[in-house]
Amino acid sequence: MIKLRVFRGIDSYEAIGPTCLTTGTFDGVHVGHVKILSQLNKIAGEEGLRSAMLTFHPHPRKVLFPDHHGLALLTTLDEKLELLERAGIQDVIIHPFSKEFSRVDPIAYVRDLLIEQLQMKHMVIGYDHRFGRNREGDIHQLIEMAPLYGFKVTEIAAQEVDDVNVSSTKIRKALDEGDVDAANTYLGYRYRFSGEVVPGKQRGKGLGFPTANIWVEDDTKLIPKEGVYAVDALLHGERFKGMMNIGFNPTFEQEGDKTMEVNLFNFDRDIYGERMIIELKKYLRPEKRFGDVNDLKKQMEKDRNDAYALD
């Protein structure tokens, strides 16, 4: 696998040759994105360029609409970098997004930043991409600028993207509805999130199903629909089967905070304070309130058997 070089800001980029560049959020790095990145890599290889991506952090909507950004992202920055490396991108530039940056003139953005600093010789971009102050720049402006500033433009047409029949919005909707199968198919991998194991109320242990409570630090990370899931958990490189409940523990709580509790099978270790990665395999059932604890335990035994049977 090609080693990914990561730069925090356009000014920090260390060019070792001209680039074939794309730019965007690429949330989820799903199968549609991978199609674009494969084309980027192919062109870079044919023209002797480095495949590069310019992306932004924090997400532009969080900066421009801080009080109502409504973000529910499929990938954290670290997760996205891991997926980009897997996709074979050589250089990723993560530029700090600010209101000041959002006001950069489209021509200055291309000429001074992409060409001068990122050494862009070929741009691969979606048909609907917008850039620069007030999103004034578009594919037509890029095509006009290309001969003036000595770069090429490859447009990813709407038809090419539509043929894949996937979008980050469609994946978010699937996860919001508990359709893990569809989400994982669109992504090309299992949806995952990670977090620190924190103390809970120890109810699971009393029921014979000790749980690890997961705290996800990034408040923009999408948490799927409430309910019970079959999962795999990764801890220090080891993989464990398990089941997870996302919700409010209605059998015990009238009101409360949403929690994510994972019961790992054949596992008995103290892991408080450690970081765990959770991969979703299947949505088993909605969360529900049981009449008594014995009914809950019977259902949890069934959930465990259903989850354990899955590869």
Per-residue pLDDT band for 163 (boundaries 50, 70, 90) equals: low
125 with 250, same domain: the answer is no
Q: How large is the average pLDDT for residues 276-289? A: 95
Per-residue pLDDT band for 126 (boundaries 50, 70, 90) equals: confident
Examine the pLDDT at 115 and tell me if it is beyond 70: yes
Q: Average per-residue pLDDT in the chain?
A: 90
41 with 81, same domain: the answer is yes
CATH for 191: 2.40.30.30
Report yes or no on 172 lying in a domain: no
15 with 136, same domain: the answer is yes
Examine the pLDDT at 290 and tell me if it is beyond 60: yes
**pLDDT, greater one: 303 or 294:** 303
Decide: 139 and 127 in contact? Cβ < 8 Å. yes
Per-residue pLDDT band for 66 (boundaries 50, 70, 90) equals: confident
Q: Residue 44 has what pLDDT? A: 98
Q: What is the pLDDT of residues 265-274, one digit of tens each?
A: 999 888 999 9
Q: Which two tokens stand for residue 309?
A: 């049977």
Which candidate, 230, 239, 233, places its Cα nearest to that of 214? 233
Q: Residue 69 has what pLDDT? A: 79
Percent of the chain with pLDDT over 90: 68
11 with 151, same domain: the answer is yes
> 26 φ, ψ to 5°?
50, 45
Q: Residue 242 has what pLDDT? A: 96
Q: What angle do CA 123, 125, 130 make, to 5 degrees?
A: 115
Examine the pLDDT at 161 and tell me if it is beyond 60: no
H-run or E-run covering 282: strand 275-285
Report yes or no on 173 lying in a domain: no
pTM for the whole thing?
A: 0.89
Query: Cis bond leading into 250, ω under 30°?
Result: no
Burial of residue 79 (CB within 10 Å: 0-12, 13-18, 19+) is: buried
Examine the pLDDT at 310 and tell me if it is beyond 70: yes
Residue 143: left (phi > 0), alpha (psi -120 to 50), or beta?
A: alpha
Q: Which two tokens stand for residue 68?
A: 């109502």
Of the ranges 59-63, 143-147, 289-293, which one carries the lowest mean pLDDT score?
289-293
Q: Residue 175 has what pLDDT? A: 97
- In whole angstroms, how large is the CA radius of gyration of the chain? 22
Those residues with Cβ within 8 angstroms of residue 108's Cβ, 6 or more apart along the chain or in another chain: 132
Per-residue pLDDT band for 184 (boundaries 50, 70, 90) equals: very high
Q: Residue 98 has what pLDDT? A: 93
Examine the pLDDT at 240 and tell me if it is beyond 70: yes
Q: Residue 202 has what pLDDT? A: 65
**pLDDT, greater one: 256 or 45:** 45
151 with 187, same domain: the answer is no
Q: How large is the average pLDDT for residues 6-33? A: 94
132 with 271, same domain: the answer is no
Burial of residue 218 (CB within 10 Å: 0-12, 13-18, 19+) is: middle
Number of H helices, E strands in the chain: 11, 12
Number of domains the chain contains: 2
143 with 10, same domain: the answer is yes
Per-residue pLDDT band for 51 (boundaries 50, 70, 90) equals: very high
Q: How large is the average pLDDT for residues 257-286? A: 93
Q: Residue 164 has what pLDDT? A: 56
137 with 282, same domain: the answer is no
Q: Which domain holds residue 128?
A: 5-166
Examine the pLDDT at 198 and tell me if it is beyond 80: yes
Examine the pLDDT at 244 and tell me if it is beyond 60: yes
- For residues 127, 129, 134, 137, the Cα torsion angle rounded to the nearest 10 degrees is -70
Q: How large is the average pLDDT for residues 238-264? A: 84
**Separation between Cα atoms, residue 283 and residue 246, nearest integer Å:** 11
Q: Where are the alpha helices (DSSP H) in the chain?
A: 31-47, 60-64, 77-86, 99-102, 106-108, 139-149, 158-164, 168-176, 180-187, 203-207, 293-308
36 with 157, same domain: the answer is yes
Among 133, 166, 199, the domain boundary falls at 166
Q: Residue 35 has what pLDDT? A: 86
Q: Residue 307 has what pLDDT? A: 96
Report yes or no on 150 lying in a domain: yes
75 with 200, same domain: the answer is no
**pLDDT, greater one: 231 or 292:** 231
Q: Residue 104 has what pLDDT? A: 93
